[in-house]
Amino acid sequence: MSDLITPDFVDLDLVAADRHEAAFSLASRLADDGRVTDLAGFLADVRAREEQMPTGIEGGIGIPHARSAHVTEPTLAFGRSAAGIDFRAEDGPADLVFLIAAPAGGDTDHLTILASLARRLVHASFRQALRDATDPQTVVDLVNKEVLGR
């Protein structure tokens, strides 16, 4: 299995008018790498998941995610938005956005990644480290250490 997140999947200057544009921008990085085989199909799955329940969580975080037949392996993309993006969280827009892409049969991988990420994101120090990161590799290192325990 390849790395869950790579510097190519990190956008420290994410510009998006809304959550759908943010998902498109991050998912495009995964499609460019071959981890998403059908961008429109994957985005339809993300949108369908978003319609079930908002994926914004307290602390300025958006976690759009989906299991999809258009995903080849569990992957995580990250974007940081200076303007903030509305993921319909009660406390306002998200400046930290994690896109979780999981294969259709990858129920446990998807939930494990989501749960581990959510546990770390409750810590202000982790969120601040993501906000302070100066380059994509720093984000990758933070996620590998804090979320994956590597």
Is 65 annotated in the active site?
yes
CA–CA dist 125, 113 (Å, integer): 19
CA–CA dist 147, 130 (Å, integer): 12
DSSP 12: T
| 103-119 b/e (C-beta count within 10 Å ≥ 16 → b) | beebeebbeebbeebee
Which of the following is catalytic: 65, 70, 110, 123? 65
> Any idea which residues carry the catalytic annotation?
65
